[in-house]
Structure 1
Amino acid sequence: MVINRLKQILSGAYLRNVGWMAGAEIANRLIRLSSTVILARMFSPQDYGLMAVIYTLSDFFQVFTLRGGIGSKIIQADERDLNAICNTAYWLNWIVCGSLFTIQCAIAVLLPYFSADSHITLPLCLLALTYLIYPLFVIHLILLERENQFKAVAICNVIISLVSNALTATFVLLGMGIWAIVWAMLLSAPVWIILTRKFHPWRPTRRFSLERWPEVLGFGSNLLINDLLTKVRANVDYLIVGKYLGVEALGMYYFAFNGGSGITLSILNTFMSPLYPHICAAKNNYEQFKQRYFRSLKKVSIVLVPLVLLQSFLAPLYVPIIFGERWIPAIPVLILICLSVIPGIYSWAASLLLNAVNKTRISLYISMTSTTIFIISILAVVQNGIVWVAATVLVNSLLASSVAIFWTHRFALRKQNFLSSIETTQSIK
């Protein structure tokens, strides 16, 4: 009976999509393992610190490429509005990404005036070119997710990972240092264009058009700010650690994230990517919507919680063996960061729930509050060392998940609120 019940829980369209994403993530992790081990053994903590600066800035700017807020609008849109919204999003993306290119180059040029290390100025300028590639594939990728073509998305992810990590490992072994990261990111980006255009037939209009921009930006602005705040929470501790404890401490801290939550968060993403389109498809049926949400959340918990606990328990064994003894001091930080993924499951799911019922403003308010508390608490403990910072990350994650469980679920899934949100959306249209 227990086996049959488990089979029933782990079945359905949602899990098929998760299956494709999970398969891709397993393949990605196997591919990345070699380059991760090579980086850990050939990069010093200071090299890791410079890599953290590059990845942090790149990750922060990617929020503005419209995959988040505008992407959610494309997934949620009615079929009759889809083409106009996609064309508007495409041209908006060119405006935004062109601006990002200019801003990152300006930051790179000004960086030496605020930091003693000027080694990353040219790498950051070169990486800014990747923003001019995003508009050529992002809409195609979002449409694949909207249509639940996660098999195609999974194939794209695996091929990109194979190309990027093969280039990284090769360049590192050739002794290129931090430039190995830069060239791998830059040379692998155009592969997205080839793959996404192969899997989806959509093509933008040749005529510049912002026909539906008030509707698109009206929906996406709250989500964009929310995504921006999420990136701030994900990266501000790196900046604070680097500022107050130095580049070497930042390298140790960044390794702990990369070796801890980097693995589990990528697995969590395989569940969350299909969740939003899965529940949005039932947004006109309250009972089905609620059932899909809780069943999906249960499946995520069954798979991910034991996995996170296992990884945390085994960290003292696998870190020195796989990555080298130099990273042993980072093990307590790695364990704390890894455990913070568990409450993060419910915070992320609650945010998607609010977006699905058009309560993006509430999601934004929650994000603003949690980000403010997070920054203040990190600043309060950073002088005590990176273990205290990691413990603070875990405590903040627990607080955020408490809000998600005890307030967001009650508000967003109350039938009266749900029906009123649907009526509001229909009246706007």
Structure 2
Amino acid sequence: MNQINQSMARGVVWMMGARLLDRSIGIVSTLVLTRLLVPGDFGLVAMATAVGGLLDLLGSFSFDAALIQKANAERRHFDTVWTFNLLFGLVSALGLVLLAAPAAVFYHEPRLTDVMLVMGLIYGIGAFTNVGVVTFRKELQFRQEFIFIAVRRATTFFLTLGAAYLLRSYWALLLGMTVGRLVNVIMSYTMNSYRPRLSLAAARELFHFSKWMLIANCLQFLRHDGCTFMIGKVFGANALGIYSVSYEISNLPTSELVAPINRVSFPGYAKMGQTEVIAQSYLGLLGLIALLIVPVGVGIAAVADPLVRTLLGDKWLEAIPLIAILAVSGALTATQTNNTAVWVALGRPQKVSLVQGCYVAVLFPALYFFISRYGIVGAGYAYLFTQLVDVLIEMRVTRTMLAFSWASALRVVWRPLLGVTTMYLLVRELDAVLVSQPLILRLLTDSLTGAVVYCLVILALWRASGCPPGAEQLSLGRVKSVYAARRPARRVVSPH
């Protein structure tokens, strides 16, 4: 088990590096594109993406999760997954083409027809991705996964920005998405020697596991994109663009940074098998997420006003309250994303479906209530309210499966929660004092103060608690090891 934990730890480092690179490029790309394009451009692409996501549900069986969870997966399993992915991908591509005109009528947006046709091409290309790359995660080969992500992202980044500078329209976004999908397919074959063949030999076995994942993914789509249809239909492309960019920026440091941890934890849990071992690892990761990732999301909420004014510009001012609310919601979401990995690794995918169903059952009434009163900002309130309910549900399910106590979970999160609360309140007070200062000075002062205050509070609480083992100890140890590695070696002078 120690070897698996060490592999998971190395995997987290590689995946965090890959995700940091991926999302750092994504942040820069989004910030530059918001200066070159208008909210309506993002909203138009979001409309087409939502329709594509709806068609994706036809094949959203998460067969890759089945391959990872199945310890003795054979070639026939991989070939069957590739065949299904190919068929479902091509059907989705055809569906985008056929729905192009009806979607344009639904949204009252004539430009959407051409956008949907290009999206169909993107889906058609992606259908041919080599299923062999799943072995990177299955065998904990996360260095390969890092290269796979980095090359694709860098290529897409430079092409999209160049196209946006020249075209100044949504076509730059579509061009970047097309090339990114093409690079993804090419890399999947050049980096992995597996060559898939058409086969449905393992269809029955795969469907037995993945039928629950289909339901869960359908509910996940409603959870993530359900309000996209509502906002696009009621408020139009401009408002949808503001919402989609607000969601992306507010969730980048939380859901995106925690995603690599989950990519590592799922195959690691699957190899562990024993619930008591998984419980220990789960609580450790929960503490790490609360310590390192939650403060980033809450910090964005605290500096939302100077952040938007400085980085996005005046045409995005409507995004300020939405980013602040969604950032807090994203921070809460980050603490719960590891639960699904536990449930699926233990062969209980039906739990994912049930919990997602509860989330959607709360979300849509909340969306109707808050949007009707607060406009697109109401979507943020709805997600925050639903996420608070979801935390209680998910933690209870995981606690029941792994048999840990509420006290053990509270021990790993109370210091980070107290730390982020203190940080948020102080930064908000400071920002009110600096409101007349230059925007860049205001943003940098708020951010630096928040980081220093959080670190000092965490360190003080940890020492007051007797320096218990956990995320703080792990993080300090990592900082010390990096410092020691970079510190020049002391010369030893010979007595002669």
Same fold? TM cut 0.5: yes
Query: Partner of 1:41 in structure 2?
Result: 35
Deviation digits for residues 56-101 of structure 1 (CA, Å, limit 9, x no counterpart): 33444445555x621110001123x332211111111122112111
| Aligned mate of 2:6, from 5, 8, 12 | 12
Counterpart of 1:30, as a letter, is: S
Are the structure 2 counterparts of residues 176 and 45 from structure 1 closer, same or farther at C-alpha, using a change threshold of 3 Å?
Answer: closer
Q: What CA distance in whole angstroms lies between the structure 2 residues aligned with 1:263 and 1:301?
A: 13
Shift of 1:109: 2.7
Does the alignment pair 1:105 with 2:94?
no
Distance of aligned partners of 1:113 and 1:308 in 2 relative to their CA distance in 1, 3 Å threshold: closer
Q: Secondary structure at the match of 1:281?
A: helix
Match for residue 233 of structure 1 among 223, 242, 249 = 223
Q: Does 1:362 align with 2:354?
A: no
Counterpart position of 1:137: 129
Cα-to-partner distance string for 1:28-81 (whole Å, 9 max, x where unaligned): 233234431222112222223212213333444445555x621110001123x3
Supply the distance in 2 between the matched residues of 1:62 and 1:356 (Cα, whole angstroms). 24
Which residue of 2 is the match for residue 421 of structure 1? none
Partner residue of 1:250 out of 240, 251, 262? 240
Shift of 1:105: 1.1
From 192, 198, 218, the counterpart of 2:184:
192
Contact 2:44 2:112 (C-alpha < 8 Å) held by counterparts: yes
Residue 156 of structure 1: aligned partner: 148
State the distance in 2 between where 1:34 and 1:342 align.
21
Whether 2:309 is the aligned partner of 1:320: answer yes
Give, as a single letter, the amino acid of the residue that structure 1 aligns with 2:301. Answer: S
2:339 to 350, 358, 379: 350
Aligned 8 A contact 2:54 2:221 in 1: yes
Alignment partner, residue 393 of structure 2: 403
Whether 1:27 and 2:16 are equivalent positions in the alignment is no
Does structure 1 conserve the Cα–Cα contact (< 8 Å) formed by 2:104 and 2:113? yes
Give 3-state SS (helix, strand or coil) of 2:317's partner.
Answer: helix
User: Who is 1:55 aligned against?
Assistant: 49
Q: Which residue of 2 aligns with 1:125?
A: 117
Q: Shift of the alpha carbon at 1:233? A: 0.9
Deviation at 1:157, TM superposition (A): 1.1
Structure 2 Cα separation of the partners of residues 202 and 23 of structure 1: 26
**With structure 1 as the length reference, what TM-score do the two structures score?**
0.87
2:481 alignment counterpart? none
TM-score under structure 2 normalisation?
0.76
- Summarize the alignment of residues 373-412 of structure 1 with structure 2, pairs less than 5 Å apart: 373-384=362-373, 385-405=375-395, 407-412=396-401
Aligned: 1:309 with 2:298 = yes
1:217-247 deviations in whole A, cap 9, x for unaligned?
1211211221121122111112212222333
| Aligned residues of 1:264 and 1:308 also touching (Cα < 8 A) | yes
Rounded to whole Å, the distance in 1 between the matches of 2:291 and 2:122 is: 37
Task: Go from structure 1 to structure 2 and tell me whether the alpha carbon gap of 1:169 and 1:58 turns closer, same or farther (over 3 Å shift).
Answer: farther
The superposition leaves residues 245-282 of structure 1 with CA deviations (integer Å, 9 ceiling, x where unpaired) of 33322222222112211343211212211111111111
Distance 2:10 2:387 in 1: 29
Residue type at the aligned position of 1:281: K
Could you tell me how far apart the structure 2 residues matched to 1:253 and 1:94 are?
32
- The 3-state SS of whatever aligns with 1:379 is helix
Q: What SS class does the counterpart of residue 211 from structure 1 fall into?
A: coil
- From the CA coordinates, give the structure whose radius of gyration is larger: 2
2:71 aligned with 1:71? no
* Structure 1 runs not aligned, ≥5 long: 1-10, 416-429
Residue type of the alignment partner of 2:51: L
- Please say if residues 346 and 404 of structure 1, whose CA atoms lie closer than 8 Å, have aligned partners that are also in contact: no
Among candidates 298, 315, 318, match of residue 329 of structure 1 = 318
